[in-house]
Amino acid sequence: MVVFWRKKDLSGHLEAIRDSGGTIGLVPTMGALHKGHLSLVEKAVEENDVTVVTIFVNPTQFNDPSDLEAYPRTLDQDLKILQTIKTDLVFVPSVKEMYPVENTQVFDLGGLDNVMEGKQRKGHFNGVAQIVSRLFRLTSPTRAYFGQKDFQQLVIVRHLVKILEMNIDIVGCPIVREKDGLAMSSRNVRLSREERKLSPFIYKTLKQAAAQKRTLTPAGIRSWVTEEFRKQPGIELEYFDIVEDKALRPVINWDEKVNKVGCIAVQIGGIRLIDNLNFD
């Protein structure tokens, strides 16, 4: 495993790989790696000649400075983990390396950034587009791997590739969960013991909601979920919606010929957690 700190060094290395006809798999991360991240890396290793993992806590996608400051950083541990799963290359740039000057680029994300997470975190997805587009241009990957836990982000990255006319296959990988159903996230380590005990309620409620498709309309399920969280102390529901998986438009009835996904965001003790479940 080779670790790169500068763009020009990584770029030169990857150019030689592309010239020889090799395929490149890219796994962008913000570090604090868990089994969910590792499932992406393992798939990339399986499907490509060379796998690049990036570790960069991107400041432009944080609309809350305290959230950026509190984000876990475990670089030494991350590198040790990556070495055990046959990662070829790791890119660990500084903020100055990625943004030598302030990035003011604004992307037209087709309104995908104005719903759900976009309503709660203004500017978040433009920041995601800023860093992802730079990493794509730097590495020119054959495939890039993103977890389905960040479902809205996955939809937006696919849109980004399309509008930038990049020939990159965006691979969505299944959510990896703890034994009690909690979706794995780098933020989970910030939960206290009592908060962690509350967190399985998120996935449990999603599953119960999906099971009521035959008796409730989408609007009825939205109301039911809202009421369930209202009755649950210690967890604050930010939003729950059932959307189709391309334009993120709210589903009105079950007869619509679209893939339907239930998306949720909650706060537990000031820690923000998201999850989703296929409702088809």
Question: What are the residue numbers of the active site?
Answer: 37
The phi and psi torsions of 136 (rounded to 5 degrees) equal -65, -45
Are 67 and 136 in contact by the 8 Å Cβ rule? The answer is no
List of residues 6+ apart from 160 with CB closer than 8 A: 107, 109, 129, 132, 133
List of residues 6+ apart from 56 with CB closer than 8 A: 28, 29, 30, 31, 91, 92, 93, 98, 131
DSSP assigned state of 6: S
CB neighbour class for 264 (10 Å; exposed up to 12, middle 13-18, buried from 19): buried
**Residue 26 vs residues 22, 50, 188, 194, 205: alpha-carbon distances, Å:** 13, 9, 24, 36, 34
Dist CA 276 CA 262 (whole Å) = 5
Give me the half-sphere count of Cα atoms (radius 13 Å) on the Cβ side of residue 262: 26
